[in-house]
Amino acid sequence: MRKVLIAGNWKMNLNRQAAVSLVEAIVQRFASEGTVDLALCPPFVYLETLAPLLKDSSVALGAQNMYFEKSGAFTGEVSGEMLVDVGCRFVILGHSERRHILGETDAMINQKVHAALELGLRPILCVGELLAEREAGQTEAVVRQQMTGSLAGVSADQMPNIVIAYEPVWAIGTGKVATPEQAQSVHADLRRMIEECYNAQVAGAVRIQYGGSVKPENAKELLSLEDVDGALVGGASLKVEDFLGIVAGVPK
Ligand code: 13P
């Protein structure tokens, strides 16, 4: 049985005071019933401020990116060791905004995945097609390339520590959520690909989140789908009511 993971990707939003208030409200109101894991991924600069607020809670801290080298002359980058040092347990890798705005390639993301796994950080690996790719019937090929490229060399033993997030680019920040049929179909494809590359046991263990305009109004239906094991939430993770409204949509 896969445990649902709801993660908030704050992207480049909030200031320190708003970040603290949001975390305090979530921690206070989130009653873990053991059926759902929660993770929050604030901007780097707030990680250290927020870590103590999450320390004794059942909410995990995550980062939105990292560099694959351990240390050195990489101006502006943050290493995985630094993330572990401040208390992160998850790291989002290969988000479409990093792929499409900042030019990250599958090869680069693959190096980051390996670096994170070596440190015990759990990667949330994002994959997803552009609208033009979906319209051209290329969705399966695109997510296959992204997933296999980003996971090259990852062993079956390491796979249960990976979370996949299927985020169709056309659904991110647009209010256009994938239909349940579209989401379930790609999630099932991804699980089948994992089975092909590894085995049925690994495929059954890996959590696959959906991301893209998840809101309290659509969360329940998406989270009830057979192969949807959680959500990676952008805009709606910035408001406590919306975020916990999504958590409330997790099937009991
Ligand atoms: P929205 O929930 O704002 O569409 O963003 C999704 C996303 O990119 C999460 O990583």
Domains of the chain: 4-248 (3.20.20.70)
Residue by residue, DSSP assigns 73-102 as: S-TT--BHHHHHHTT--EEEES-HHHHHTS
How far is 148 from 110, CA to CA, in rounded Å? Answer: 9
**Burial label, 201 (beta-carbon count in 10 A; 0-12, 13-18, 19+):** exposed
For position 152, what pLDDT does the model report?
Answer: 98
Q: What is the pLDDT of residue 34?
A: 79
For position 66, what pLDDT does the model report? 98
Question: What whole-number distance in Å separates Cα of residue 208 and Cα of residue 80?
Answer: 22
Residue 173 CB–ligand 1 contact under 6 Å: yes
Bridge partners of 209, per DSSP, are 165
- Distance in Å, CA 107 to ligand 1 centroid: 23
Q: Closest residue (by CA) to atom 7 of ligand 1? A: 234
Catalytic residues: 95, 167
Q: Which atom of ligand 1 is nearest to the CA of 96?
A: 8
* Ligand 1 pocket check for 172: Cβ under 6 Å: yes
Kindly give the parts of the chain with pLDDT less than 50. none
What spacing in Å lies between the alpha carbon of 23 and ligand 1's midpoint?
Answer: 18
Q: Is the pTM of this model over 0.85?
A: yes
**Closest ligand 1 atom to Cα of 215:** 2
Evaluate: CB of 169 within 6 angstroms of ligand 1: no
**Distance between Cα 7 and ligand 1 center (Å):** 10
167 lines ligand 1 (CB under 6 A): yes
What's the pLDDT tens digit per position in 90-134?
Answer: 999 999 999 999 999 999 999 999 999 999 999 999 999 999 999
Cβ of 246 closer than 6 Å to ligand 1, yes or no, is no
Q: How far is CA 31 from CA 8, 18, 35, in A?
A: 17, 22, 10
